[in-house]
Copies of this chain bind each other. A is one copy, B any other.
């Protein structure tokens, strides 16, 4: 059998395959380039970046949980200028798409980052709307359809590159947020960000994280992520990048059957530096076994 066609198209950008990295779990690729060939990835999604450097939250920032982990990094990053100066040129050496995840505390801040990135040759922007909106008392942008639409619209207006909006799962109705993002002009959606969680050290009688709460990721959350991708895929027409606990090709296929066009590997990078490549190989193997010649067919083949 011929090698299956694994190309996907997201908002006009062609990726050689659907496997990406989840923002914040792959740095800007340098470290993992020592373990894997970045040329093989569909895209590298760079860690969240804001206009100015952010210091993030105090340590401890990591807590292990059953089949997952909590993080409260708090979007520490050196700011968009450092990204442009150091990370993008590095990634441009590779034949892979560059997607930059952007963070902001106000709509204006998001827009500034997007505008600045418009002057670069990155391929897509991923708008992380899980940040707290400081002007609205710290409510997360992504938990309210109105705010989600508003920030998407504002960023879309200034963005030169196609815009992916990344959804938070900590909501009652993910479909309403997804529709709001699409109404605001999202070219694609990525989901899910982390679930809000907490862990306590019972001997010290303290929360493990200095920030008290953090974001839960890893295989523990996969069923929630798959459910949300499935719900949203039925409700909107834009492509979805699915993530949440993907450890291998089979997990990635599950997201595609649920309706995802692309997939991203997050926490598993930490536990297995070559996970992205294994996911890619696993998808190909599945396609051959199940005689899919084209990756897009998977997304359309769920039966009930």
- How far apart are the CA atoms of A253 and B199 in the complex, in Å? 11
The answer to whether B220 touches A67 (Cβ under 8 A) is yes
**Is A120 in contact with chain B by the CB < 8 A criterion?**
no
Please report which residues of chain A, range 257-304, place their CB below 8 angstroms from some CB of chain B when the two chains form the complex: 257-258, 286, 290, 301-304
- Establish whether residues A67 and B70, one from each chain, have CB atoms under 8 Å apart when the complex forms: no
A66-B198 in contact (CB<8A): no
Question: Which residues of B have CB within 8 Å of A235?
Answer: none
- Given A198-B258, A224-B196, A257-B200: A245 and B66 within 8 A (CB)? yes
**What residues of chain B lie closer than 8 Å to A53, measured between beta carbons?**
none
Interface locus among A16-24, A81-89, A99-107, A202-210: A202-210
Residue in contact with A66 in the complex, picked from B67, B143, B301, CB distance below 8 Å: B67
Are B226 and A67 interface neighbours, CB within 8 A?
no
Chain B min CB distance to A304 (Å) = 7
Could you say which of B67, B171, B198, B290 contacts A67, with CB atoms under 8 Å apart? B67
Question: Whose C-beta in chain B lies nearest to the C-beta of A249?
Answer: B202
Q: Which of A110-118, A123-131, A157-165, A211-219 contacts B (4 or more CB under 8 A)?
A: A211-219
Q: Is A15 an interface position by the 8 A CB rule?
A: no
Q: A38 CB to closest chain B CB, in angstroms?
A: 27
How many copies of the shown chain assemble into the complex? 2
In the assembly, what is the distance between CA of A143 and CA of B206, in Å? 30
Q: How far is the CA of A179 from the CA of B198 in the complex (A)?
A: 21
Residues of B contacting A198 in the complex (Cβ-Cβ under 8 angstroms) = 223, 226-227, 230, 258
The listed residue (B200, B202, B224, B286) touching A195 by CB distance below 8 A is: B224
Q: Is the CB of B66 within 8 A of A220?
A: yes
Q: Establish whether residues B223 and A65, one from each chain, have CB atoms under 8 Å apart when the complex forms.
A: yes
Q: When the two chains form their complex, are residues B257 and A202 in contact, meaning their CB atoms are under 8 A apart?
A: yes
- Chain B residues with CB below 8 A from A258, complex form: 198, 200
Q: Which residue, A70, A212, A224, A257, has most C-beta atoms of chain B within 10 A?
A: A224
Decide if A221 is an interface residue (CB 8 Å cutoff): yes
Complex contacts, A65 vs chain B, CB 8 Å? 222-223
Nearest 8 CB-CB pairs, A to B?
A: A197-B223, A67-B67, A220-B220, A198-B227, A66-B219, A202-B253, A171-B172, A65-B223
Which A residues form the contact surface with B (CB < 8 A)?
63, 65-68, 70, 143-144, 170-173, 195-200, 202-207, 212-213, 216, 219-224, 226-227, 230, 245, 250, 253-254, 257-258, 286, 290, 301-304
Can you list 20 A-B contacts (CB < 8 A)? A65-B222, A65-B223, A66-B222, A66-B245, A171-B171, A171-B172, A195-B224, A196-B224, A199-B226, A199-B254, A200-B226, A202-B257, A202-B286, A205-B290, A205-B302, A206-B302, A206-B303, A207-B302, A207-B304, A213-B230
